[in-house]
Structure 1
Amino acid sequence: MGTQQQKQDMTPYNAVVRRQSRWAFLIVLVIASGSFSAAADYVVQRDVMVPMRDGVRLATDVYRPAVGDQPLDEALPVILSRLPYNKAGSKSMGAYYATHGYVFVAQDTRGRYNSEGVWHMLTDDGPDGVDCAAWIGQQPWSNGKIGMIGTSYFGGTQHAMAIAGAPELTTVIPVDAMANMGRQSIRNAGAFELRFWNWIFLNAGRGSRAGKNPATAEVLREMADQRFAYLENLPTRRGMTPLRLSPEYEDWLISAMEHGPNDEFWAQNNIVDAPEKYKDIPVYLVSGWYDSWGGNNTATFMALNSAIKGPVYMIMGPWIHGKQTGHAHGQVNFGKDAAISDQWAWRKEWYDHWMKGIDNSVGKADPFKTPVRIFVMGTGDGSKDEQGRLQHGGFWRNELEWPLARTEYTEFYLQSGGGLSTTMPKIEQATTQYDFDPKNPVPNIGGNLSSSDDIMLQGAWNQKGGPHLWNFKDPIPLSARADVLVFQSEPLEQDVEVTGEIEVRLFASSSAIDTDFTAKLIDVYPPSADWPGGFDLNIGDGIVRARFRESLTKEVMMTPGETYEFTIKLYPTSNVFKKGHRIRVDISSSNFPRFDVNPNTGEPLNRHRTTKVATQTIYHDASRPSRIVLPVIPASPSDE
């Protein structure tokens, strides 16, 4: 680290490419008393090969402010992006920050695109991030301060670098970031989220070592194109598909699908269980109510907020994965105010404050006025917009904490006959049964997803089949299925705001020694002129694999017919269930292909050869009161 060889890799600038910014004629260079305004031009050096501690070199692009063809001779703070998705796609980010007083550095992570080495799922990104930061800190164009940027996987590389404690790291803005992977993201209460199966099938042949061979890349591309057929033939077995041609990807996927316990296998970026390892720096966490990492975002906020001084900020919008500039997701329009229109400028405000010491809007004005900013969904008029989407609406609100201190946790009990109310069941014995056939799983319709390209729909959707679904093409509601139990309230007499973390506590038994139970929260719109059949809007969902009911770290099989209490953690939300709507909870045992399907056999994970139909019994009586615990926010006097 910091060797003469490293310095030779950067100097002289032997591959500088000049780029004119689109606003070049409006912006002038100002250098006074060592300070820097915005530069009109920038230069970029591509594919600087930066060595890591083990000698593997990672391809790195450096964007610098410039006057004409000459980079500015000044040490500046650095914005760093470490990503597996091809750094060449970082041009807009690089241009923006290099023309606003920063050096921007984009690096292909290990084993991806132009970088050397073998890819591993995030496990190298802590030490590699430390080595990259040390190299940046020694360059003459760096003042030793690094802020990180990136979404999803390269939100996760930010967490990895913060956990590794890189000395130069000054602040991070992880967006929809990979974290807590053994709890509620890759493994979700023991079930496997198949979006990562999809990610591997898509990326094993592009940007990978195997993908550099054109013939191999073509075989892997064909495999990716046939994902629907492979989904119908799960489990994916080691060595039995073309995935074997990309061995590090096959090894991770099969190992991950076979490994259920939340232990050292998932330790990388496990913030919830070890927040004290996180570097004490300002952190701004960003995600959405319909993002795959939304639950991890709020969990990370709660963990870090009690472990570091930070400060730790969080914003949660009505967004799907990586779509903070959008205001309509799935079949629903949340209103134009839901979008963050300028994706780079608001981040620059944060970086300016913490990396340049500028007294600006941070701590004073939106979106930085308070530590928590949330979008409260559901205050629209429910009509149909010009694109045929439900106008669910909503508004932004600033909060001081998460969960909200004024929360009134309210239990809504499952009732005989399909009711849902705050009244505890009085009947001594009440059950509802259904058969769960793994060969005919309940199809997924929207929800908290990412990396779902083609195989799933993200976001907010009417819970009804149709041609938009590959595995549920008939235009019938999910509630028509015999293996979906529906419990819903009477039409609400007043608006009910639900904001916070949500759990279903379910008393159930099964004829199987292992099975799954799922729960979904739905905002039921009544019939209207625009929606004559109503609209069953998914708000959040969750799952539990029975063998992990007692602990996420230990597998314990069930005794068939014995009753157990299961906790199903749904994704957090903020939604107003309006007067006249119903609050609904759907209970089932599958949600495919959001989650892998439990074969009900108790065989080792991802190694089953057979399936069994399981008879499931849900209890909802006085001694076994199954219920959903909703974080109800009392109406303020001005709302009444």
Structure 2
Amino acid sequence: MQQVGREMSVVRRWLFATTVLMLFVASGSLTFADDFVVEKNVMVPMRDGVRLATDIYRPAKDGVASEEALPVILSRLPYNKDGQAKSAKYYATHGYVFVAQDTRGRYKSEGVWHMLSDDGPDGVDCAAWIGKQPWSDGKIGMIGTSYYGGTQHSMALAGAPELATVIPVDAMSNMGSQSLRNAGAFELRFWNWIFINAGRGSRASKDAGTAEVLSEMSDQRFSYLDHLPTRRGMTPLRLSPEYEDWLVSAMEHGPDDEFWSAVNVVEDAENYKDIPVYLVSGWYDSWGGNNTANFMALNRSLKGPVYMIMGPWIHGQQAAYSHGQVTFGKEAAIADQLAWRKEWYDHWLKGTDNSVGKADPFKTPVRIFVMGTGDGGKDGKGRLQHGGYWRNENEWPLARTEYTDFYLGADGQLSKEKPKAEESITQYQFDPSDPVPTIGGNISSGDNILLQGGWNQKGGPHIWNFLKPIPLSARSDVLVFQSEPLEEDLEVTGEIEVRLFASSSAVDTDFTAKLIDVYPPSADWPGGFDLNIGDGIVRGRFRESLKEEVLMTPGETYEFTIKLYPTSNVFKKGHRIRVDISSSNFPRFDVNPNTGEPLNRQRMFKVADQTIYHDATRPSRIVLPVIPKP
């Protein structure tokens, strides 16, 4: 009887494998390996009939797919699902089914691309399809970074029943507040994203001739930047109409309203599915501010649990420990990006009793990397050893924070002492035709036009629009306010704001702020090192509200709030805390023409006379979240 049972088992396995093979051949292509099987380009129908190209990776033994119903790891992305093969093979050989799907209108999927607005309903339909498959146990965990971190938020906001957990990394969200529109200014990294992706994986790129024209356009991005704004029908971008339409509409649309509502986690947190969430980002990532904002919002609305980790990273580089001209030490990296996620998935999708809730990086709800405790020397590759260490926390912002005002003062002073003068001002001129260049910062999608991360605030051949080795502080349109050398270490960890009293000769203009850790001269750095920590901007017409435009009255004094990106940094003894105030940071942000014309429709430029107030009744200041010593 045992022999008969074994034979029947073999027959069943053969029949199952044969049936699966026939189905796979009928619907897509099939690839075998000893320990996994992948079915390529299964066209999964959405509710409107559009079909999305999907790859399915399943565990196998001796090339035969497992019959077991398993939890699924899902990646929905616009960057070509073929690039998910490494992650897919890892999870398929560790007890999961991995599903990778090209989002609507991208690569092999049908339909027309729209910026994340279809990914809620498409995600729900995809999840429902997965839940009906015999290889699925009905539980889905999602994976992905940046745009396909945003597709995770989209699916959670849409409430897909099968969705059991998400790990959004550097995820797109809250696009009308501090990400695409940043306090009213437009982040040109997404202009760059459109100019690249309109001809890469788009519908238009499927025609060879059109693809060549769009590729040439992408190669000439520096020249197009010199001729902003980008107008409808006036560039080759018209050959990829959905991309042109989104970009021009986005650059014309300032208010944070329904236009930007596709993935608004902060305002729609009550609609977010109550599942375990692990939010991941970095102090130098473009979505870092959104990550902490999402944590605060979801932590209030979900039982979760909701976890967050913030490292010293740039966009998508959690496995690295250095960027720009700075290194933080090898301990800053999470070396195995797939294994730590697996620990989370095992716990929430399989019920495994493991390190989640017990050991790093899952011991406490918040884990942060405190930057700045290195020796400040130069490593073997010529990078500043800024250093730092990991620390576990229970909340964000930290309960023990002491919010401390550092006041802008006459002659470039920055101190805790409130100004006493009845009137004290500093003035400069802002010429839109000569904007202050971007040198590092919270960047993604920079791709040659922007440098990411930590850099000495000094020009050079690495800065395409500031080629000479001149410090930004030398510019007359950059106001520098800095403290005396610190008498002891000062930790700044949390959300940061600059409250600026200012007036302008223009009806609309921008004000920018940048926080800098000023290293003193040393043997390794004879000229010192001005390390950017965080930056921000505010567009004058949005000073009262991000929801509504109100032009300024020339010469009238207003209080502007400039929200910088969050950080955790120790300003060491002997260093200075510095705040730079200006009116541009290009091409990080689009340049305000100072004319008050409709956004992205300007034809004119005006030089604006800017006045910064720092006196007793108008005390401009930066509010730093100081963490007291234990």
> Normalized against structure 1, the TM-score is what?
0.95
- What whole-Å deviation, never above 9, does each CA across 1:520-548 have from its counterpart, x for those lacking one? 00000000000000000000000000000
State which of 11, 19, 24 in structure 1 corresponds to 2:33.
19
Structure 2 residue identity aligned to 1:138:
K
State which of 422, 445, 453 in structure 1 corresponds to 2:447.
453
Which residue number corresponds to residue 144 of structure 2? 150
Which residue number corresponds to residue 521 of structure 1? 515
Describe the SS at the equivalent of 2:337: coil
Compute the displacement of 1:16 (Å).
1.8
Which residue number corresponds to residue 588 of structure 1? 582
Task: Say whether 1:443 aligns with 2:457.
Answer: no
Compute the displacement of 1:480 (Å).
0.2
Unaligned segments of structure 2, at least 5 residues? 1-18
Structure 1 residue identity aligned to 2:411:
G
State which of 178, 191, 194 in structure 2 corresponds to 1:197.
191
In the alignment, the residues of structure 1 paired with residue 76 and residue 268 of structure 2 have an alpha-carbon distance, to the nearest angstrom, of 23
Describe the SS at the equivalent of 2:410: coil
Structure 2 residue identity aligned to 1:54:
D
- What whole-Å deviation, never above 9, does each CA across 1:593-640 have from its counterpart, x for those lacking one? 00000000000000000000000000000000000000000011xxxx
In the alignment, the residues of structure 2 paired with residue 459 and residue 262 of structure 1 have an alpha-carbon distance, to the nearest angstrom, of 27
In the alignment, the residues of structure 1 paired with residue 151 and residue 478 of structure 2 have an alpha-carbon distance, to the nearest angstrom, of 39
In the alignment, the residues of structure 2 paired with residue 425 and residue 373 of structure 1 have an alpha-carbon distance, to the nearest angstrom, of 37
In the alignment, the residues of structure 2 paired with residue 360 and residue 450 of structure 1 have an alpha-carbon distance, to the nearest angstrom, of 34
Q: Is the 8 A contact 1:156 1:179 kept in 2?
A: yes
Q: Is the 8 A contact 1:9 1:49 kept in 2?
A: no
Which residue number corresponds to residue 276 of structure 2? 282
In the alignment, the residues of structure 2 paired with residue 257 and residue 613 of structure 1 have an alpha-carbon distance, to the nearest angstrom, of 22
Which residue number corresponds to residue 393 of structure 1? 387
In the alignment, the residues of structure 2 paired with residue 9 and residue 417 of structure 1 have an alpha-carbon distance, to the nearest angstrom, of 76
Where in structure 1 do 4 or more consecutive aligned residues deviate above 6 Å?
Answer: 8-11
Q: Is the 8 A contact 1:10 1:48 kept in 2?
A: no
Which residue number corresponds to residue 550 of structure 2? 556
- What whole-Å deviation, never above 9, does each CA across 1:382-419 have from its counterpart, x for those lacking one? 00000000000000000000000000000000010000
Which residue number corresponds to residue 415 of structure 1? 409
Describe the SS at the equivalent of 2:591: coil
Q: Is the 8 A contact 1:60 1:105 kept in 2?
A: yes
Larger mean CA deviation between 550-559 and 266-275 belongs to: 266-275
Structure 2 residue identity aligned to 1:19:
A
**Superposed, which structure 2 residues align to 1:480-499 within 5 Å?**
480-499=474-493
In the alignment, the residues of structure 2 paired with residue 254 and residue 87 of structure 1 have an alpha-carbon distance, to the nearest angstrom, of 28
**Superposed, which structure 2 residues align to 1:282-361 within 5 Å?**
282-361=276-355
Q: Is the 8 A contact 1:404 1:500 kept in 2?
A: yes
Structure 2 residue identity aligned to 1:51:
P
Task: Say whether 1:85 aligns with 2:96.
Answer: no
State which of 105, 108, 124 in structure 2 corresponds to 1:114.
108
Compute the displacement of 1:273 (Å).
1.2
Structure 2 residue identity aligned to 1:347:
R
Q: Is the 8 A contact 1:177 1:297 kept in 2?
A: yes
**Superposed, which structure 2 residues align to 1:33-112 within 5 Å?**
41-112=35-106
Describe the SS at the equivalent of 1:554: coil
CA RMSD of aligned residues (A): 0.9
Which residue number corresponds to residue 177 of structure 1? 171
Task: Say whether 1:430 aligns with 2:424.
Answer: yes
Q: Is the 8 A contact 2:59 2:66 kept in 1?
A: yes
Q: Is the 8 A contact 1:173 1:283 kept in 2?
A: yes
In the alignment, the residues of structure 2 paired with residue 589 and residue 222 of structure 1 have an alpha-carbon distance, to the nearest angstrom, of 32
Q: Is the 8 A contact 2:21 2:30 kept in 1?
A: no
Q: State percent identity of aligned pairs.
A: 80
- What whole-Å deviation, never above 9, does each CA across 1:137-160 have from its counterpart, x for those lacking one? 000000000000000000000000
Q: Is the 8 A contact 1:9 1:50 kept in 2?
A: no
In the alignment, the residues of structure 2 paired with residue 267 and residue 499 of structure 1 have an alpha-carbon distance, to the nearest angstrom, of 30
Compute the displacement of 1:10 (Å).
9.8
Which residue number corresponds to residue 254 of structure 1? 248
Distance 1:519 1:573, change over 3 A: same
Structure 1 residue identity aligned to 2:125:
D
- What whole-Å deviation, never above 9, does each CA across 1:533-590 have from its counterpart, x for those lacking one? 0000000000000000000000000000000000000000000000000000000000
- What whole-Å deviation, never above 9, does each CA across 1:65-87 have from its counterpart, x for those lacking one? 00122100000000000000000
> Normalized against structure 2, the TM-score is what?
0.96
Paired residue total? 609
Distance 1:432 1:9, change over 3 A: farther
Distance 1:49 1:85, change over 3 A: same
Q: Is the 8 A contact 1:444 1:592 kept in 2?
A: yes
In the alignment, the residues of structure 1 paired with residue 437 and residue 32 of structure 2 have an alpha-carbon distance, to the nearest angstrom, of 51
Structure 1 residue identity aligned to 2:593:
P
Structure 2 residue identity aligned to 1:292:
S
Q: Is the 8 A contact 1:491 1:580 kept in 2?
A: yes
Compute the displacement of 1:221 (Å).
0.2
Q: Is the 8 A contact 2:497 2:562 kept in 1?
A: yes
Task: Say whether 1:500 aligns with 2:489.
Answer: no
Structure 2 residue identity aligned to 1:413:
Y
Compute the displacement of 1:102 (Å).
0.1
Describe the SS at the equivalent of 1:13: helix
Q: Is the 8 A contact 2:398 2:494 kept in 1?
A: yes
Compute the displacement of 1:19 (Å).
2.9
Which residue number corresponds to residue 23 of structure 1? none
In the alignment, the residues of structure 1 paired with residue 423 and residue 20 of structure 2 have an alpha-carbon distance, to the nearest angstrom, of 75
State which of 536, 540, 544 in structure 1 corresponds to 2:530.
536
Structure 1 residue identity aligned to 2:398:
L
Compute the displacement of 1:274 (Å).
1.7
In the alignment, the residues of structure 2 paired with residue 444 and residue 364 of structure 1 have an alpha-carbon distance, to the nearest angstrom, of 42
Which residue number corresponds to residue 617 of structure 2? 623
Which residue number corresponds to residue 27 of structure 1? none
Q: Is the 8 A contact 2:157 2:268 kept in 1?
A: no
Describe the SS at the equivalent of 2:23: coil
In the alignment, the residues of structure 1 paired with residue 290 and residue 269 of structure 2 have an alpha-carbon distance, to the nearest angstrom, of 13
In the alignment, the residues of structure 1 paired with residue 20 and residue 199 of structure 2 have an alpha-carbon distance, to the nearest angstrom, of 29
Q: Is the 8 A contact 2:120 2:158 kept in 1?
A: yes
Describe the SS at the equivalent of 2:250: helix
In the alignment, the residues of structure 2 paired with residue 356 and residue 60 of structure 1 have an alpha-carbon distance, to the nearest angstrom, of 24
Describe the SS at the equivalent of 2:456: coil
Q: Is the 8 A contact 2:33 2:62 kept in 1?
A: no
Q: Is the 8 A contact 2:199 2:214 kept in 1?
A: yes
In the alignment, the residues of structure 2 paired with residue 390 and residue 581 of structure 1 have an alpha-carbon distance, to the nearest angstrom, of 14
Q: Is the 8 A contact 2:72 2:140 kept in 1?
A: yes
Which residue number corresponds to residue 213 of structure 2? 219
Structure 2 residue identity aligned to 1:177:
A
Describe the SS at the equivalent of 1:302: helix
Which residue number corresponds to residue 545 of structure 1? 539
Compute the displacement of 1:13 (Å).
2.5
Compute the displacement of 1:9 (Å).
11
